[in-house]
Amino acid sequence: MPKVELQRTFNVPLDKALEYFGNHDLYNSRHARDDTTCTIVSRKDNEVLVEVNQEASGQKFSFTNKTVYRLPHSIETETLSGVAKGSRQKVTFESVPEGTRVTYFTDFKMQFGGVAGKALRLVSGKIMKKMTRETMEEAAEVDRKHLEGEQPPPPAPQ
């Protein structure tokens, strides 16, 4: 399935970027979705195990992610169970003159069995790559707004 890489430079020093990305609770609160609940199963040293329940297009999905913080260099996440088992994400950090270069990498896997699953994987590959890239770009924009101090727009009047 799709492997996607996205690179962004944020106008903040490396230590500020690491403070944000390395704070599991803060980072996830900035990326929280209404259709998703995350429960921390365990925290030990530089590893966090999280159970995720999500609803998308009327379907419910559950999976478990393990995130390993290898700061100041990277953060790596692997999906251990569920429909995306084997998926991996990695975020790396580099100090550059303009601030901090962050590289997002995703290797997304979908677990569909049998001949029908193989056909679905082949057909959906380009679509999934496009969707994965769009999701990564949205996440990077959330990160940019947080790191560079841009406030979200006020809620629309009701």
What pLDDT, on a 0 to 100 scale, did the predictor assign at position 2?
73
pLDDT in tens, 114-136: 555 555 555 566 777 888 899 99
Report d(CA 97, CA 76) in Å as an integer.
25
Report d(CA 26, CA 10) in Å as an integer.
18
What pLDDT, on a 0 to 100 scale, did the predictor assign at position 80?
97
What pLDDT, on a 0 to 100 scale, did the predictor assign at position 113?
53
pLDDT in tens, 25-61: 999 999 988 888 999 999 999 999 999 998 877 888 8
pTM for this predicted structure: 0.84
Supply the mean pLDDT for the chain. Answer: 87
23 pLDDT band (50/70/90 cuts)? very high
Strands (E) in the chain, as ranges, are 3-10, 36-44, 47-56, 59-70, 74-81, 88-96, 99-107
What pLDDT, on a 0 to 100 scale, did the predictor assign at position 4?
94
What pLDDT, on a 0 to 100 scale, did the predictor assign at position 32?
87
